[in-house]
Structure 1
């Protein structure tokens, strides 16, 4: 919600929550305010626990990423690529296996690490493919 007045948004949510706390049916209030019953329930719960600050927008970013590649492995992938610039993801996966890494990350994962760290330059194809239907 870029460019939204956060104070006005909190006031809007506060008015809706006040109606619900005043005894109005949650379904009617939600319809009147153009939101879902679930959102209104969440706002009410956050308001009861935290007061006005609970009505502010929250980040959708996950608190943790349990399946994310460990930082040491990501650093090792980047180091191998810097030492051997011609190695691609497939070769790096092979080398990680030879180094005894367990579990060895997948090829696509290694490629994403290389892209994220700016170690892959997109190349133009020398011979554009000709597709036949």
Structure 2
């Protein structure tokens, strides 16, 4: 029977494997992630416990580029039209 685990459960299993003595690089390879990701999960778990492994938002804390101002409209590059010749 195949059981699908939540992200939190997967991350918790990875943390438990490292705590059991399995090298981080091996755990990272088994879970298909970088060793930095495993270290991040371990840090979250140590700081906040199981709640620290809850799936986190990837939304940035700030977006300085989002406060941009619209550019001033450029003047037309074409020469100004002259009046039609008078007849």
Structure of higher CA gyration radius: 2
Secondary structure of residue in 1 paired with 2:64:
coil
Moved over 4 A (4+): none
Work out which structure has the larger RCO, using CA pairs closer than 8 Å and 6 or more positions apart in sequence. Answer: 2
When the two structures are superposed, what TM-score results if normalisation uses the length of structure 2? 0.65
What 5-or-longer segments of structure 2 have no aligned partner?
76-87
Q: How many residues align?
A: 72
Q: What is the match of residue 25 of structure 2?
A: 27
Q: What is the match of residue 13 of structure 1?
A: 11
Looking at structure 1, the residues matched to 59 and 8 of structure 2 have their Cα atoms a distance apart, in angstroms, of 20
The structure with more helix, counted as a fraction of residues: 1
Looking at structure 2, the residues matched to 27 and 18 of structure 1 have their Cα atoms a distance apart, in angstroms, of 14
What 5-or-longer segments of structure 1 have no aligned partner?
78-88, 95-133
Q: What is the aligned-residue RMSD (CA, Å)?
A: 2.7
